[in-house]
Structures are given as structure tokens and as C-alpha cells.
Amino acid sequence: MDILGQDIRYSVRLLSKSPVTTAVAILSLALGIGANTTIFSLMNALILRPLPIPNPGQLIRLSTTTPTNPDREGALSLAMYQQIRKDQLVFSDLFAWDGGGMANIEANGLKYAASVSTVTGEYFSTLGIPPLLGRFITPEDLSLDGGTPAAVAVIGYGCWQSRYHGDPAAVGKAIRVEDRPLTIVGVTPKRFSGLIIDAAPDVTVPIGYTGTTYRDRKSLGFGVFARLKPGISIKQARAQLESMWPAILEASLPEGYAGAKREAFLGRRIVVASAATGSSFLRGKCSRPLFVLMAMVGVLLLIGCANLANLMLARATGRRHEFGIRVALGAAKWRIVRQMLTESLMLSVTGAIVGMVLATWANRLLLDTMWTGFVPLALDAAPDLRVLAFTALVSLLTGLVFGIAPAWNIFRTDPAGALQQQGRTVHGGAMTLGKVLISVQVALSIVLVIGAGLFVRSLENLRSANVGFRRDHLLLLHMYPQSGGETAPLPNRAAYYHELAERLQGLPGVESVSYSHMGPVLGYEFTDAASVSSSQRPPVQAVFEAVGPEFFHLVGMRIMAGREFTSRDHEAAQPVAIISESLSRRLFNSASPIGKRIDFGNRKALEIVGVVNSASLWMPQSREPMAVYLALMQIPTFNSSCIESDPADTFHPPPRNPIAGSLPIQH
């Protein structure tokens, strides 16, 4: 330890004699190591870090797929959940969860829009977390077979801090969710964000607090999660569920399903997967780009190492005479090599410390840039032990990589020759090694430049891709009606939106205004089954949207046949739909669909009044999605419980009836 202390003190004195060179080296390392730490921290938070619950490896997720769309996982019905719970032998407990959504909240006298999750009574006990205050929702708070759930709610730590200022007396107070009074019975711990790592729900309530539609066997809108019994593997659980799955489907078959619909329902397959890392809205969008960025910043660090190796080699060459004298006086070559490696490691450790500070700032900046959710981002990308170990390893390897070249050159130095050399002339092996390092640096720089060019080209292709609608000069305004607004009579509601659209359209610079349930370019799709009425053909999974009059004109979509929705398409009129060109080809081949009727989800005999071009309205990566557009004014209270999609996606359903505006203003 004394010798190590001597090496460190000598290195500090030596590095302080050339402050500019030392500062440049530390800054280069800080940028390289900091960039690697930043990307790894995001990968750790999004992909690697398990949920903050006991034994997260025991938590699994159940979902379903269809033969026509085997790659898209869907949710289950409550009837399926109850049947699994009744017959399974491999889980210690399981629960159903709706995936969450936005709702109107009145907390501590303040009305606002927030995220709300509905769960069965086993949710918190299965996850195995204790309440910070009060108690959690229990099976006694609701009955899945009938009855009214208890009017209780559990609030998240963020809601408790922001709305109740951390007051323990919040437990027992009233909170209103969609104008329904509930009593706060507990508060979740600080680090717990539920099953969605990006966004913690403000309020968690028992399933069924909004009504009885959740009992509908056609409502495939629940994620089912379970905890494996000790000693049971996922493979064993999958084997048991697959063996009992046909009986579960038969027992949960919706009434009235016959023919092709029955076969399609019974053709579903069960999927059993680990849920140790939870679900994430950002994970699906950002995982691949993060791996690409990790490779790019890795190359950037290698370029920095090659550059610093050349710098250290030049410094070592200038000290050959000094090294020759030290060897002549009896110093071992290994002692000198260790001294040089100590200098390199001190530079890399200092660069790592500065890089860690930069990474902490850059993490938050990148997350704020990526996040487009409707609730505050709850993802914790702060460095943990895994990130610190990664940074320490990168720092050690970096110090060895750029320090080994000059150390090796010194080890091969002849002491007699070094004593005879004067000045800083570079000879023989040092010159050759320097040329090799320069060649490596140039080669890596070319690779990085080419990769960056391809990355920029991909972004440009994505920006200029033809998605089938007009993306420029669009403004999206999200509206959350005050409590009770959604239950207003349809004429008042229709008149409200009609007058609001007229007033907005009268604003200077506004070209046109319409409204929709979800809104474009929000990054997720909801699907349901579409089929020709009175036909035995199997249903087709189609994306759906509910829109107002003149919506397609606003977003620049083309009417291929028929007409747009108008103000006459209200609740008292014949239910109508507009379908995409791709769905028209799938259901009707080359025949005209105008005037024909389709069934979509729970809505029967919708008359097709128009066909629009196929547009990637929700996700740019979709290619000509099959879509059904409903008249929003014919749906007095839009209910998305029939959605068939991954519960991780349904956590971010858009607010009801966003208003879209088209502005002719030039940027």
C-alpha cells in the first residue's frame, strides 16, 4: 500500500506539471465514459432493472394471441381470469389489472386529469409490497360475481406528496374519481410505480368502480399477472396452463358466439412470460435505438482511447532518458510499468467521476425528450450498483487500454540505449506503434461517421415517410371534461363540441377543427374484431378510432368512396362507420363496401358510408393498417373495455375526445 501511495502521489505531481494536457485527457475520457454510462443507465432502467418488489423473478404475465395475428399479444376477459384462478395449481396468487388509463380526479379540492388503475383485491398482496400508510385494496373490497365494489382508493406516493403535501391525515379523506366519491385507505411506497415503470398511477381502485361492463365476457381488456409457487418454473406453469386452456376458453365463451366467431375465440392461444421487469411504454420504442447508441458510444470511447494512447506514448517517449536512469539505478521495469499504468488509471478514474456527473444530467434530459405520456414520467434512471459497477469496469478497462501501449513500449526499452538518447526523438517501435494507433483511430472514426450518417438518414426517411395523412401544421389539444361531463345528454354534448369547434375555427390562423377519441401520432393502437354482418367469414383484427365531422379533411386523408361523417351522424341516426382501403380489400375484395354492414366489437350492423386511404395514423411504423372509424357523436360514453391489446399499451389511452386543429401558419 505504501508503494501504491507513492505511485499515486508521484502521478499527481507529474500530471499537474502539464495541466492543459491533463485537462484535455480528462475531458475526453469524461465525454466517452459519460456517454457510455448515460446509455447504459437508460438500458438498465428500461430493460434490466427488475420491479422493486420481493422476488420479482417469480412474477409472470399471462396474455393471449390469435392465429391470424400470432405476434401481437392481447389481454384476457375477467371470465378467463376467474376460470384460471379456479383451476390452476402452480401460482401462489394472481390478479387482474386493467392496464390503467386517464380519468378526472378531484383530490383535496383540486380537479385535474390523472392516471387511474383498476385492480382485483389480490393486486398488492401478490406483488408483496407493504403500504406506506394505511392499508391496500383486499379481496373483501370487491366481488367479481356481483355486488358493488367498496368505495375505496389507494393513492400513489406522488399524488400524496403533490396533492396532500405528505400529510398522514390524507388516509381517510375523500377523493372523487369520475365524480364517484371514494375514501382513501392507503398510500403506496415511494419507489413503487405499479406494473408500469414509466408512469405511476395516481389512484388505484377496485375493478368495477365505474360500472358493470367489466363482467362482459366480450371485454378483453384485462392483464393477468401471477406469482409462481416456490420451486415452480415458468416452463411448468406454461405446461399446466396450455393443458387447461381449451376448457378455460369453453367456460368463458361469450353468449351468442357461433360459427366463425366461436372458432376465432376458441382459436386463441395462451402466452406465459416473465414479468420481472414490468411493462413500459418507452421500452418498445427505445430498446433498439438504445442498443444502436450503445454501440456508437462504445466506438466513440475506443477512438478516445486510441487518441489518449498516442498522447501517453508521446509523453513516455519524452521520458525515455528518465526511465533509463531509473533502471540503471536499480529500478525494475515492472515498477516503471506500474507507475505508468497508475497515471493512466488516475486519468480514467477522474474522467469517470466527471462522466458520471454528466451522465446524471444527460439521463434526465434524454428521458424528458423521449417521454410523451399524459402523466409525469416516473422512470427512475438514477445510478444504482449495476450502473456504478459498469462505470467502474469501463474506467478500469479504459485506463488499461490507453495505458498499455506506452507501458509495453517502456518494457521493451533497452536502458543503455535510453541513456544514450537525448531530447524527445521518437525511434523504432514507438514510431511504429504510434502509426498503428493513428490507423486504428482513423478506422474507428470512419466507422462512427458512417454509422452516424446512416442514423441521420434513417431519421430523415422516418420524417419524410408517406404515412397517409398530413402531419405538418397540426395541433393536438387534449380535453378532460369536468366531473359529470361525460354523462350529459347527447344533444347538449354534441352541441358543446360543435360550438367549441366553431369557436376554435374562428381563431386567427386556424384553418379547420375536428375531434377524435384518441388523436393521431400518439404512438399506440387499439384493435378489435371486424367482420361482415351475417357472414361466416372469420373476423379481422382492425385498429379503431372514433372521430368527428370533417376529421379526414383536417388530417389530409383522401375519401376513396362514399362520404365523411357529418353532424347528422348522431346517436339517434343509423350507426355508421368508415373503413380504410386495406380493410375494404380484405373484407369485400374488389366489391364496393358502401351501404354494406359490418360488425365491430360489440357494435352490430354498422352501415359503411365511406372508404378512406390506409394511413399510419397512430404509429408511423405501421404499414397500411386496417382500420374502422366510428362516428364519435354516436357514442355518448366511449367505452374502451373491449380493447384487445397488450395491457402495457393500454396504460396510456388518450383522453376522451381530443380536439385536433389544422393551422396554415408557416414554421
Model confidence at 422: pLDDT above 60: no
Distances (CA, A) of 393 to 101, 295, 444: 41, 17, 22
Claim to verify: residue 494 and residue 634 sit in the same structural domain:
yes
Tell me the mean pLDDT in the region 146-169. 89
Tell me the mean pLDDT in the region 619-625. 64
Measured torsion, CA atoms of residues 315, 316, 320, 322, in degrees rounded to the nearest 10? 80
Q: What is the pLDDT of residue 285?
A: 77
Phi, psi of 203 (to 5 degrees): -135, 140
Q: Of residues 224 and 71, which shows the higher confidence score?
A: 224
Q: Are residues 286 and 655 in contact, defined by beta-carbon separation less than 8 angstroms?
A: no
Tell me the mean pLDDT in the region 537-545. 81
Q: What is the pLDDT of residue 476?
A: 76
What pLDDT band is residue 320 in, cutting at 50, 70 and 90? low
Q: Are residues 207 and 144 in contact, defined by beta-carbon separation less than 8 angstroms?
A: yes
Give the relative orientation of helices 19-43 and 2-16 as an angle to the nearest 10 degrees. Answer: 110
Model confidence at 125: pLDDT above 90: yes
Phi, psi of 318 (to 5 degrees): -70, -15
Q: Are residues 223 and 607 in contact, defined by beta-carbon separation less than 8 angstroms?
A: no
Taking the C-alpha atoms of residue 529 and residue 540, their distance in angstroms, rounded to an integer, is 5
Taking the C-alpha atoms of residue 532 and residue 376, their distance in angstroms, rounded to an integer, is 42
Q: At 5, which amino acid appears? A: G
Taking CA 562 as the corner, what is the angle to CA 558 and CA 566, rounded to the nearest 5 degrees?
85
Taking CA 62 as the corner, what is the angle to CA 58 and CA 68, rounded to the nearest 5 degrees?
145
Asked whether residue 37 is domain-assigned, the answer is yes
Distances (CA, A) of 380 to 34, 128, 285, 289, 360: 18, 20, 17, 19, 11
Q: Of residues 115 and 427, which shows the higher confidence score?
A: 115
Claim to verify: residue 537 and residue 412 sit in the same structural domain:
no
Q: What is the pLDDT of residue 666?
A: 28
Q: Which of 461, 483, 511 finishes a domain?
A: 461
Percent of the chain with pLDDT over 70: 75
Of 64-68, 548-552, 577-581, 602-606, the range with the highest mean pLDDT is 577-581
What pLDDT band is residue 623 in, cutting at 50, 70 and 90? low
Q: What is the pLDDT of residue 482?
A: 54
What one-character DSSP code corresponds to residue 222? B
**pLDDT, tens digit, 9 for 90 and up, residues 368-380:** 777 766 677 888 8
Q: What is the pLDDT of residue 423?
A: 47
Candidates 290, 301, 286; CA nearest to 447 is 301
Phi, psi of 14 (to 5 degrees): -65, -45
Q: What is the pLDDT of residue 75?
A: 84
What one-character DSSP code corresponds to residue 46? I
What pLDDT band is residue 643 in, cutting at 50, 70 and 90? very low
Claim to verify: residue 313 and residue 438 sit in the same structural domain:
yes
Model confidence at 638: pLDDT above 60: no
Taking the C-alpha atoms of residue 531 and residue 542, their distance in angstroms, rounded to an integer, is 10
Which residues contact residue 295 at a Cβ distance below 8 angstroms, ignoring those fewer than 6 apart?
A: 451
**pLDDT, tens digit, 9 for 90 and up, residues 481-499:** 554 444 444 455 666 777 8
User: Is 279 strand, coil or helix?
Assistant: strand
Model confidence at 216: pLDDT above 50: yes
Q: At 2, which amino acid appears? A: D
What residue has cell string 540503471? Answer: 328
Asked whether residue 179 is domain-assigned, the answer is yes
Claim to verify: residue 243 and residue 130 sit in the same structural domain:
yes
Taking the C-alpha atoms of residue 207 and residue 121, their distance in angstroms, rounded to an integer, is 8
Q: Which of 461, 492, 519 finishes a domain?
A: 461
What is the chain's mean pLDDT, rounded? Answer: 78
Q: Of residues 42 and 461, which shows the higher confidence score?
A: 42
Model confidence at 197: pLDDT above 80: yes
- Helices H / strands E in the chain, number of each: 17, 22
Asked whether residue 446 is domain-assigned, the answer is yes
Of 291-300, 326-335, 431-440, the range with the highest mean pLDDT is 291-300
Helical (H) or strand (E) element with 529: strand 527-532
Model confidence at 191: pLDDT above 50: yes
Claim to verify: residue 233 and residue 303 sit in the same structural domain:
no
Q: Of 61-65, 78-82, 206-210, which range is least confident?
A: 206-210
Q: What is the pLDDT of residue 539?
A: 81
Cβ burial of 422 (10 Å; 0-12, 13-18, 19+) is exposed
Q: Which of 419, 436, 461 finishes a domain?
A: 461
Can you give the three-state secondary structure of 372-439, one letter per residue? CCCCCCCCCCCCCHHHHHHHHHHHHHHHHHHHHHHHHHHHCCCHHHHHHCCCCCCCHHHHHHHHHHHH
**pLDDT, tens digit, 9 for 90 and up, residues 336-348:** 677 777 878 888 8
Tell me the mean pLDDT in the region 521-533. 72
Q: Are residues 598 and 539 in contact, defined by beta-carbon separation less than 8 angstroms?
A: no
Q: Are residues 46 and 287 in contact, defined by beta-carbon separation less than 8 angstroms?
A: yes
Q: Going along 81-148, which residue ranges are E strands?
A: 91-97, 101-107, 110-119, 133-134
What pLDDT band is residue 129 in, cutting at 50, 70 and 90? very high
Claim to verify: residue 288 and residue 194 sit in the same structural domain:
no
Claim to verify: residue 269 and residue 290 sit in the same structural domain:
no
Claim to verify: residue 270 and residue 299 sit in the same structural domain:
no
Q: What is the pLDDT of residue 424?
A: 47
Tell me the mean pLDDT in the region 61-89. 86
Q: Of 120-129, 399-408, 488-497, 614-623, which range is least confident?
A: 488-497
Q: What is the pLDDT of residue 635?
A: 76
Q: Are residues 105 and 655 in contact, defined by beta-carbon separation less than 8 angstroms?
A: no
Phi, psi of 335 (to 5 degrees): -65, -40
Q: Of residues 611 and 11, which shows the higher confidence score?
A: 611
Asked whether residue 370 is domain-assigned, the answer is no
Claim to verify: residue 250 and residue 169 sit in the same structural domain:
yes
Distances (CA, A) of 406 to 39, 345, 577: 30, 13, 74
Model confidence at 658: pLDDT above 50: no
| Domain span including residue 329 | 2-42+281-365+385-461
Tell me the mean pLDDT in the region 381-393. 88
Q: Of residues 98 and 654, which shows the higher confidence score?
A: 98
What pLDDT band is residue 553 in, cutting at 50, 70 and 90? confident
pTM: 0.72
What pLDDT band is residue 174 in, cutting at 50, 70 and 90? very high
Phi, psi of 227 (to 5 degrees): -110, 125
Q: What is the pLDDT of residue 256?
A: 78
Model confidence at 317: pLDDT above 90: no
Strand-pairing partners, residue 101, are 116
**pLDDT, tens digit, 9 for 90 and up, residues 18-58:** 777 788 788 888 888 888 899 999 999 888 899 999 999 99
What pLDDT band is residue 209 in, cutting at 50, 70 and 90? confident
Model confidence at 588: pLDDT above 90: no
Model confidence at 213: pLDDT above 60: no
Asked whether residue 288 is domain-assigned, the answer is yes
Claim to verify: residue 115 and residue 171 sit in the same structural domain:
yes
Alpha-helical (H) ranges within 506-630 are 551-555, 581-588
What residue has cell string 420524417? Answer: 463
Q: What is the pLDDT of residue 656?
A: 34
Q: What is the pLDDT of residue 4?
A: 65
Tell me the mean pLDDT in the region 105-128. 88
Model confidence at 513: pLDDT above 90: no
Structural domains counted in the chain: 3
Q: Of 201-205, 364-368, 453-457, which range is least confident?
A: 453-457
Q: What is the pLDDT of residue 634?
A: 82
Asked whether residue 467 is domain-assigned, the answer is no
Asked whether residue 621 is domain-assigned, the answer is yes
Which residues contact residue 409 at a Cβ distance below 8 angstroms, ignoring those fewer than 6 apart?
A: 313, 316, 317, 429, 430, 433
Distances (CA, A) of 464 to 458, 468, 470: 10, 11, 11
Asked whether residue 468 is domain-assigned, the answer is no
What pLDDT band is residue 154 in, cutting at 50, 70 and 90? very high
Taking the C-alpha atoms of residue 324 and residue 14, their distance in angstroms, rounded to an integer, is 18
Model confidence at 644: pLDDT above 60: no
User: How far out from the chain centre does Cα 535 lie?
Assistant: 39
Q: Long-range CB contacts (< 8 A, 24+ apart) of 261-268?
A: 261/529, 261/531, 261/539, 263/538, 264/66, 264/68, 264/529, 264/538, 264/539, 267/66, 267/67, 268/64, 268/65, 268/66, 268/74
N- to C-terminal Cα distance for the chain? Answer: 64
Q: What is the pLDDT of residue 306?
A: 76
Claim to verify: residue 177 and residue 216 sit in the same structural domain:
yes
What pLDDT band is residue 665 in, cutting at 50, 70 and 90? very low
Claim to verify: residue 184 and residue 91 sit in the same structural domain:
yes
Q: What is the pLDDT of residue 149?
A: 83
Distances (CA, A) of 387 to 34, 39, 407, 543: 11, 10, 29, 40
